[in-house]
A and B are shown apart, each in its own frame.
Chain A
Amino acid sequence: MSKLATGVLGVFPHLDTATDAIRRLRAEGFELTVYSPTPRHEVEEALGTKESPVRIFTLMGAFTGTAAGTALATWASIDWPLVVGGKSIVSLPAFSVIMFELTILLGALSTVAGLFILGRLPHLGPAEAPMYHPSFTAGNFGVFAHAPRDRYSDVQRIMNESGSEEVLVDHR
Chain B
Amino acid sequence: MQTVTRSVFHPHVESYEQVNRDSMRLLTKPGKGYVALLAMAVSLVGLLVFAELHNIIFGLGMVGENWAVLITTFVFWVGIGHAGTLISAILYLFRAPWRQAVYRFAEAMTVFAVLTAALFPLLHIGRPWFFYWLLPLPSQRGIWPNFRSPLLWDVFAVTTYLTVSSVFFYIGLIPDIAAARDATTDPIRKRIYGVLALGWRGTDREWRHFTRAYLFLAALATPLVLSVHSVVSWDFAVSIVPGWHTTIFAPYFVAGAILSGVAMVVTLMVPVHRIFRLGAYFTPLHYDRLAKLLLLTSCIVGYAYAMEYFMAYYSGELYERDVFWDRVTGDYWWAGWSMITFNAILPQLLWIKKIRQNLNAFFIITIFVNIGMWYERFVIIAPSLSHSYEPWKFWNIHMTWVDASLLLGSFGWFFMWFLLFLRFLPGLSIAEIKEVLPPPMRNHGAHHHAHDEHEMTTETLPTGYREREVR
Interface on A for B, CB 8 Å cutoff? 13-17, 32-44, 47, 49, 51-52, 54-55, 58, 62, 72-73, 76-77, 79-80, 82, 84, 87, 91, 94-95, 97-98, 100-102, 104-105, 107-109, 111-112, 114-115, 118-124, 127-129, 132, 134-139, 163
Contact = CB atoms under 8 A, between A and B. Distances in A.
Interface in B384-415: none
Contact of A79 (B20, B144, B148, B213): B144
A32 B205 CA distance: 10
Q: Which 3 interchain pairs have the tightest Cβ spacing? A: A123-B199, A122-B198, A139-B16
A15 B441 contact: yes
B344 interface: no
Given A84-B148, A163-B442, A122 B199 contact: yes
Contacts of B202: 35-37, 136-137
Contacts of B37: none
A105 B443 contact: no
A79 to B, nearest CB: 6
B16 A37 contact: yes
A123 B208 CA distance: 16
Contacts of B188: none
Nearest to A33: B203
Interface string B361-374: 00000000000000
Nearest to A132: B201
Contacts of A119: 205-206, 208-210, 213
Given A97-B153, A123-B201, 4 more contacts: A76-B144, A109-B163, A139-B15, A163-B442
Contacts of A52: 208-209, 211-213
B175 A137 contact: yes
A126 to B, nearest CB: 11
Contacts of B148: 77, 84, 87, 91, 94
By DSSP majority rule, is chain B's interface helix, strand, loop, or mixed?
helix
Contacts of B59: none
Nearest to A116: B198
Contacts of A91: 147-148
Contacts of A129: 203
Interface string B92-106: 000000000000000
Contact of A39 (B156, B435, B447): B435
B317 interface: no
Nearest to B18: A139
B439 interface: yes
B210 A115 contact: yes
Contacts of A97: 153, 156-157, 227, 231
B212 A128 contact: no
B168 A35 contact: no
A77 B216 contact: no
B17 A139 contact: yes
Contact of B157 (A72, A101, A122, A127): A101
A76 B462 CA distance: 46
B198 A121 contact: yes
B179 A37 contact: yes
A87 B432 CA distance: 50
B20 A36 contact: no
B204 A43 contact: yes
A35 B175 CA distance: 12
11 contacts: A15-B439, A35-B201, A41-B461, A54-B216, A98-B153, A108-B220, A121-B200, A134-B183, A135-B182, A139-B16, A139-B20
Contacts of B205: 33, 118-120, 128
B26 to A, nearest CB: 16
